Every structure is written in C-alpha cells, then in structure tokens.
Structure 1
Amino acid sequence: MDTPARFRMNRTTLLAVFAFALCLTTLTAASPWFLLALVVPAVLTAWVVRTGFDIDGDAVTVRSLVGRRRVPWPEVAGVRVGERADLWLVTTRGTEVRLPAVRARDLPAIGRASEGRIPVPELPADQ
C-alpha cells in the first residue's frame, strides 16, 4: 500500500465550532478578557482536524490531539467492537487502542484499507 488510508472526523463538525466561535466574539465587546474564551474553539478545531487514524503497509497510526501511537501489523491481534459500536484495536500484548472517528458500520472500509489484515465478519444472508 503506497498511500495510507486516512480515517478522520467529519469536517462538517467545524461548522458548529465556527458558529460557537462567532457567538463568543460577541462577548468580547463586554470585556477584553473574553478573548481568552476563544481558546476553546481553537482547541476544538485542532481536535477535529487532528483526531483519527491512518492505515498503511507497515502499521496503524492512531492520532489524538496531543500525541500518536503507532502499532505495527505483527502486533495487531484484531479489532473489538465496544458497547456503543466504538472500535478498539487489540494488540498481541493485550492492550487496546481506541480507533477514533469510526464506528462498527465502518468495519468494511477498515478491512479493505488494511488489505485483509483486519478481518471483517460476513453478514448472514437474508432468508
């Protein structure tokens, strides 16, 4: 796999962050101290843009707001589906890494991007 498959948060979320920042700017007319409140939408924007994970030929790289974790393919044991359909990458060491920005419905896309390294169970045929 030459280019990594990227799974990120939906960029439409930035519209809500922009609207929130716009509402906060009206508060700055009351006091210049409210400019500090604009740090919140800046952090939210960074979180939306940065959070996600990449799948390439060597590893799965999970990115959060402040860091990243790279799990090489030999250390990947599988994927666990959580109670709320969130996905967790299970390692051979028994640790788990949450896969942000995806749900169980995204498993087929993740399976294709991993080129079969992450197996996707087949759905039973309707009868």
Structure 2
Amino acid sequence: MTTPRQQLPGRLVFRTPATAVLGALLLAVTATPFAFAAPWLFLVYLVPIGAIVLVLRLRTTADADGLVARTALSRRKLAWSDIRALRVSERSWVRAVLDDGSEQTLPTVRTRHLPALALISGGRLDDPTEPPPRD
C-alpha cells in the first residue's frame, strides 16, 4: 500500500486580508464631516490612505529559495542559508535572525504560521509545534 505524497505549494504569501481596505474606506467616509470643518483638516484623509497602502504593501513571501519581506518602503530578499533562526516577539510577531546577528522583521507573519514556514523551507527551519523525536 502506498501513501499519498504531500503536495507542497510553490510559495506561501503572508499578508493582511484585502478586506481590511474596507475599514480604511469606512474611516475616510466617517472623517468627511471633520475634514470639511476647517481649511487644513482635509489632511485627515492621509490616515486612511496610509492604511490602504500598508494593507496592500506589507507582506512576506516564502518559497523554496528563501523569504522576501516587503515593508512600506523597502523589500528585502533572504536566502534560507542566511537565516540562523526565527525569533518570536512578545506580541507574536516573527523576526528572522540572520547569520550576522541582525534581525529582519517578517511583516504579517505570526506564530501560527511557523509550521508552514518550516514545511516550505524544506527542513532548514524546525517546526516548533512538532514533538521532539523519541530515542
């Protein structure tokens, strides 16, 4: 009897759901009376515009070659061989610890995503949810 092979995706993309843009649009609509109350208060529209940019821009992409972390203003590609470990912050955000000791924030990656990262890394990262092997 043969066991079915587990099919791995080509890449994983961790990002904020696009429906979060609706919240930013709602904020813009509710800010309209305030924005027209005085000449310079229209700048309040920069807040929902910034939120929309962050929702559409922030993401981490993982594939067999490594990770790509996209922040609001930059993009950084990390090979799996450059990553020493992953560190979880007190707010459950994940950072990649690099060989030189520096850390790179992985936008929108949370602790619940660690098993998927371990799987797509091809064994280069350990799955912290997996029980240790018995001797």
What TM-score comes out, normalization by structure 1 length? 0.82
Percent identity, please.
33
What is the SS of the residue equivalent to 1:99? strand
CA root-mean-square deviation: 2.2
Partner Cα distance (2:37, 2:56) in 1:
31
2:13 alignment counterpart: 6
Q: Please state how far the C-alpha of 1:12 moved relative to its aligned partner.
A: 3.2
Which blocks of at least 5 consecutive residues in structure 1 are unaligned? none
Q: Please state how far the C-alpha of 1:57 moved relative to its aligned partner.
A: 2.8
Question: Aligned AA for 1:15?
Answer: L
Q: Please state how far the C-alpha of 1:32 moved relative to its aligned partner.
A: 4.8
Question: Is this contact kept in 2: 1:89–1:98, CA < 8 A?
Answer: yes
The structure with the largest alpha-carbon Rg is 2
1:43 alignment counterpart: 50
1:93 alignment counterpart: 100
Moved more, 94-103 or 31-40: 31-40
Partner Cα distance (2:119, 2:113) in 1:
10
Partner Cα distance (2:112, 2:101) in 1:
24
Question: Is this contact kept in 2: 1:89–1:96, CA < 8 A?
Answer: yes
- How many residues were matched structurally? 124
Question: Aligned AA for 1:71?
Answer: L
Instruction: Establish whether residue 60 from structure 1 lines up as the match of residue 67 from structure 2.
Output: yes
Which blocks of at least 5 consecutive residues in structure 2 are unaligned? 1-7
Partner Cα distance (1:123, 1:10) in 2:
31
Partner Cα distance (2:9, 2:110) in 1:
25
Partner Cα distance (2:37, 2:66) in 1:
50
Partner Cα distance (1:123, 1:16) in 2:
40
Question: Aligned AA for 1:108?
Answer: P
What is the SS of the residue equivalent to 1:30? coil
Q: Deviation per CA, 1:39-75: give whole Å up to 9, x if none.
A: 2111110011111111123221111101111112221
What is the SS of the residue equivalent to 1:21? helix
